[in-house]
A = this chain, B = another copy of it.
Amino acid sequence: MAKIKDVAKHANVSVSTVSYVLSGKRPISQETRERVYESIRALGYQPHAGARALASKRTNVFALVMPLHSGVYVPVVMQFVSAVVTRAREVDHDVLILTKDEGEEGLHRVQERSLADAMIVMDVEMHDARLPFLRTLQTPTVLIGFPEKADGLICVDLDFTAAGARCLDHLADLGHTCVGLIGSPYVVYQRETGFATRVAEGVRNAARRRNVRLTTHPCDPTPEGVRQAVSDLLGQQPGMTGLIVHNEAIIEPLLAALRERGRQVPQDISVVAIGPADLARRFDLTAVELPTHEIGRRAVDLAMAQLAEATVPPATLLEPRLTVRGSSQPRTSTRLTGRPVVGAALTKTGPQPGLRRR
């Protein structure tokens, strides 16, 4: 394995020159720089990570805490991981993973052993037990998610409150006046995961503002849970013509359950989702998409900014973007019951050529 000394010899310069060529921390003449790069390539040189960390106090590694417990929707977690790793590599960093259940100890170890330059913590809950500890960390930290009290912490997330409002506004704009919200499993609310609570809040406020009748239901990710939720919603509000779904795991069974109950989407009922883009696309759903890639990227950038001593905004709330697809349409004329209205509307709004599908 080539060392910096070998490169220096090969390029006929000193080791510091090689080091400075690599770090760019002092001007090097075009000529020597090229010569050095040439030698680096020739020898396949890569700096020893440990030595570098020891000398520079930088590991070029991020620690990423990921949740593994049930209740989280795994594909989304993976999207975050993927986004963080990808961005990290773009800025020449690697990613060390910790599982959430290592708890504070994992974070502590990473800090004390200088295993990473910064931490990125996923799945932060409203009243996360780790918050006090996170505030005491010396290592720069970025939270993906938003606790109730975020003071002293750097957070990034989709603005779920705005997302909820955006969904309801979309339906209200289309003339819907009676809307249901199907949310996360009950346990998620109990854990007070930020996004679930916030979406509900955003939807509720918007409903009040827009004078829309609203009913809300948590929903377990099982066929029974879905049927239950649909029954409840339609039972309480037979005239409901709009539905907001914030639960990735139940999109498919939900659509099936509606079909079973004789409600066609979007003719009888308009559906708006909050979730990952691929799901929304697959089911042709109007949706506020969870920008996992953007969030992961921002998290890395916020970490880098802290490492660069820049002043970083404590809160980064990404504005929701709603993409209109085939699952929502203006409210049709019927009023009192759910009897399907067929005909023109159906023809007009069925799957059309040119619609994006996965």
Contacts and interface: CB of A to CB of B under 8 A. Distances in A.
A262 interface: no
Contacts of A77: 78
Given A94-B115, A97-B85, A50 B59 contact: yes
Interface in A52-100: 52-54, 59, 61, 68, 74-75, 77-78, 81-82, 85-86, 89, 94-99
B44 A112 contact: yes
A99 B75 contact: no
- Please tell me the size bucket of the interface on A: 35 or more
Contacts of A49: 50, 53, 59, 113-115
Contacts of A52: 50
Contact of A78 (B45, B74, B110): B74
A52 B49 CA distance: 11
A109 interface: yes
Contact of A109 (B46, B50, B54): B46
Contacts of A95: 96-97
Interface string A165-182: 000000000000000000
A47 interface: yes
B94 A96 contact: yes
Contact of A50 (B44, B50, B81, B112): B50
Nearest to A106: B89
Residue of A54, A59, A61, A109 ringed by the most chain B CB atoms within 10 A = A54
A51 interface: yes
Contact of A68 (B61, B74, B82, B99): B82
Interface of A: 1, 44-54, 59, 61, 68, 74-75, 77-78, 81-82, 85-86, 89, 94-99, 102, 109-110, 112-115
- In the A-B complex, the 8 residue pairs with the closest CB atoms: A50-B53, A46-B112, A50-B54, A50-B50, A49-B113, A46-B113, A74-B75, A49-B115
10 contacts: A1-B114, A48-B54, A48-B113, A49-B50, A49-B115, A50-B50, A50-B53, A50-B114, A68-B82, A74-B75
